[in-house]
Structure 1
Amino acid sequence: MIKNERQYRISKSQLDRFVERISEIGTSENAFAEIHRAAHQSEIDILSLQISEYEALVRGDISVFSVSSLDDLPSSLIKARIARGKTQKELAAILGLKEQQVQRWEADNYEAASLATLKSVATALNVGVASDLIVMKSASDMPRLFHRLAACGFDKAMLARILPANSYTALISGLGSGEAIWNALVELSSVFGIPIRRLLDADSSLPFVFGSRVRYKLRTNADSEKVDAFTVYAHYVAALACKACEHVPMIAIPQEWSSFRDAILADFGKISLQSVLDYTWNCGIIVIPICYSGAFHGAVWKIGGRHVIVVKQTTSQTARWLFDLLHEIGHVVNNHVSETSAVIEIEPIGQKESDTDDDETVANEWAEDVLFDGDSGRIEKAVVKAASGNVKMMKAAIEKVADTFEMDVGVLANHMAWRLADQQINWWGAAENLQKSLVAPDEIVRKGLLTHVNLAVLNEFDRDMFIRAIEKQ
């Protein structure tokens, strides 16, 4: 943690040196160079995060700090001083002490300071602390909490994304340090919106807090508990993204598919996952990738005036990711989402009319029009004609028609696979072979997110959980 301007300047200088060293190594592929490159990159990542956190504190972007235990209080007091715009010298003056005394306290994180000292520093900085004093139960009670969570739809895979490894182990097995158990309780309390004391009460229900009213129709065989559980988790991740993207400007997004398409072509020259993603971010809409099977297939929230899209795919087909993203944007531009009502995709998103929801059909048609310039019917007929109605000739026909209409061959292949599926013909394998992206689609979306978020404004627990949420596991 950077605690003053001198350390900030030193850290900036160190960062420049590590960047320079990586540049000197160049693109050499020998093992020795790769080891040094990885080591330098690790230092760059750590320094960049520390510098970003300090700069955010100085700007006043952070005013609330997570204090989940007494161990967190010293570092939070240091952050509070920086956020208040006070130097160590100025804090010392308020306390009637010499600057060196505050420097010594902060150098060892107030380890030698008394409780009275911590209280006086908090008072000088006008800091308030609101928390409960919890008497921990036995670690053996933790598996009981896990079983209560599992009954509510939170399976092991989901909890492994929410919790750090040691806290996850403590929850599942009841084994682990008191710190690991406490950290698990703090994280679960934050995500679920449930007081720790209620988590520990075996006789209490677990009333999960939804950030907004969700709208979805369950299939008869759907697991409602798991859908609700993942919705709570995904909404928390979406809220963290909003907090980390407060600096991203928002502009009106075109509602007509033709205007949306024209704007992307004007800025980027083509319709692709990358160009649609970049334009969506330029409008201030957050896009989060979550590679996790089951529960639901995508979501859109509006949080604090900002739309957040969760693209949730497990396939490597770029065209599927692109259509899903455009489908969710279709919900946004057609005003299907508000601060009090979210859209949760229970059924897989596909290029077909929905049997149960007119909004889903509208979003599908909007996405299809963007991809096909409103001319999908004519393009479909061109493919059928080029293939002479023979599925075995479909691959060559799609490549030819895609070239004629100057569109992505993978997009057309994906579209025709859906049309063939309506005829009970499985053509997905051939469609996947026509996907020509050199970069995995989840990596494209993940990179777009990490380019825009300022993770320094999140506390350590939330930052780590956010990273786990978007990692491919």
Structure 2
Amino acid sequence: MTVQIPTKTAIYKAAKAEGLSKALIKSMLPRWWDDSLLETSSGFAQFVFFLKSRFGLKFVHSELSAVEFHHTKLQREFKVRTGVDESRLVAASLQLGAYARTLVKAYDYNVRPQNIDYLREKLFENISLTLEGTLELCRDANLPVLFVSTIASGAPRPAGAVFKFGERFAIVLSHRHKIPSIQLFILLHEIGHALLGHMYEKESITDFSILRLAETLRDEADAQEDEADLFALRALRGHIPLDKIISSMPVPKSSAELAVFAQKVSKEYGISAGHVVLSYGKEYADWRVAQTAIKFLESPNALEILEQHNQVQLDLLRLKQDDEDLLSRVL
């Protein structure tokens, strides 16, 4: 049966009904794309192919409608503070998902099988984790992790998101905080969602608020978020009772004193000094002192570390031209 080519207006209207704005779609199409191609059957077929490969949308011919798109999998979950309009979150999730889906596909055709058990084992071999070291473990386990700094206009910025396509997980980080310890906690939190079975029958979990990083408490309890937080804490602390160590310490008179205390704990127990400082900030809601103290301990180079990881990861893969075109935009 011949399918009549719908108008460009009808095409974009149908895609918008599934949460995809025209601007977001165009940001994910190849650079060579021109909308005049939609006037031909081959061009329309290419457009449908890109929407499926990037966003998981498939074209459905209907006698009642000129054009319809349906998600192949709609199970998305947003972790966000109460009162936020969920419809505003879809664009960010779809954008990050397009990058994640493309990267997972590249791992597949490069025949790089994912080894989540290896990652689980290595994360808990010791507690001296760093952002660079954990990203390297993810590369060794063939778990795609991508840092995306630019978010669709008008969409809230997620801290991070985890996706599952088939049997493969992928993580996208988007928080622009420059402190490595904070980015490491976000990464471990997202890994926790994957390893703890939170992705059962879900395509994505997008975190817009992570309790252990928030300077104010979440409005409501969320068992999965608490579990992901605790997973990250166990990876960073092992079985060392850092909360008790912090609660027994004298109240620091300055940020420098807190930094010295953190270095002492790090040397004695092997826990990252930056994580000790962040834990103190959370325990006492003293973020002013904690954020100053961490500057004595860590260079504010987390974004450079993540960007370098992007490059190293993509260099390991042979990419098809259109996939390289898209993924190169995050470099």
Question: Does the TM-score normalized on the shorter chain lie above 0.5?
Answer: yes
Cα 1:360–1:237, aligned 2, differ >3 Å: closer, same or farther?
same
Q: Distance in 2 between matches of 1:223 and 1:236?
A: 22
Q: State the SS of the aligned residue for 1:308.
A: strand
When the two chains are superposed, the root-mean-square deviation of aligned CA atoms in Å is 4.0
Say whether residues 1:464 and 2:328 are aligned partners.
Answer: no
CA contact (8 A) 1:208 1:232 kept: no
Q: Which residue of 2 aligns with 1:323?
A: 185
What does 1:26-425 correspond to in 2, within 5 Å?
A: 141-142=7-8, 145-146=11-12, 149-150=15-16, 152-155=18-21, 158-165=24-31, 167=33, 186-194=49-57, 204-210=67-73, 213-216=75-78, 219-246=81-108, 247-251=111-115, 252-253=117-118, 260-263=122-125, 270-293=128-151, 294=156, 296-338=158-200, 340-351=201-212, 355-373=220-238, 374-381=240-247, 385=250, 387-388=252-253, 393=254, 395-406=255-266, 407-420=271-284, 422=285
Q: Distance in 1 between matches of 2:212 and 2:25?
A: 33
One-letter amino acid of the structure 2 residue matched with residue 308 of structure 1: A
One-letter amino acid of the structure 2 residue matched with residue 372 of structure 1: R
Deviation larger for 425-434 or 221-230: 425-434
Cα 1:408–1:155, aligned 2, differ >3 Å: closer, same or farther?
farther
Q: Distance in 2 between matches of 1:347 and 1:195?
A: 28
Q: Which residue of 2 aligns with 1:110?
A: none
CA deviation vs aligned residue, 1:200-252 (integer Å, no higher than 9, x gap): x9854442332x63344665543433433443443443333223223334442
Q: Which residue of 1 aligns with 2:317?
A: 453
Cα 1:300–1:194, aligned 2, differ >3 Å: closer, same or farther?
closer
| 1:345 to partner: Cα distance | 2.8
One-letter amino acid of the structure 2 residue matched with residue 284 of structure 1: N
Q: State the SS of the aligned residue for 1:377.
A: helix
Q: Which one has the largest radius of gyration?
A: 1
CA deviation vs aligned residue, 1:104-158 (integer Å, no higher than 9, x gap): xxxxxxxxxxxxxxxxxxxxxxxxxxxx977666xxx535644554564334663
| 1:308 to partner: Cα distance | 1.8
More strand by share: 2
One-letter amino acid of the structure 1 residue matched with residue 279 of structure 2: H
Q: State the SS of the aligned residue for 2:309.
A: helix
| 1:328 to partner: Cα distance | 1.5
CA deviation vs aligned residue, 1:345-371 (integer Å, no higher than 9, x gap): 343224178633112111111212222
Cα 1:356–1:145, aligned 2, differ >3 Å: closer, same or farther?
farther
Structure 1 length as normaliser, TM-score? 0.54
Unaligned 5+ segments in structure 1 are 1-131
Cα 1:449–1:254, aligned 2, differ >3 Å: closer, same or farther?
closer
Cα 1:447–1:205, aligned 2, differ >3 Å: closer, same or farther?
same
Q: Distance in 2 between matches of 1:380 and 1:148?
A: 55
Aligned length: 311
CA contact (8 A) 1:287 1:308 kept: yes
Q: Distance in 2 between matches of 1:242 and 1:441?
A: 21
Cα 1:368–1:193, aligned 2, differ >3 Å: closer, same or farther?
closer
Unaligned 5+ segments in structure 2 are none
CA deviation vs aligned residue, 1:346-402 (integer Å, no higher than 9, x gap): 4322417863311211111121222234332134236x52514xxxx1x21232022
| 1:320 to partner: Cα distance | 1.8
Q: Distance in 1 between matches of 2:293 and 2:68?
A: 47
Higher relative CO (CA 8 A, sep ≥ 6), structure 1 or 2? Answer: 2
Cα 1:181–1:314, aligned 2, differ >3 Å: closer, same or farther?
farther
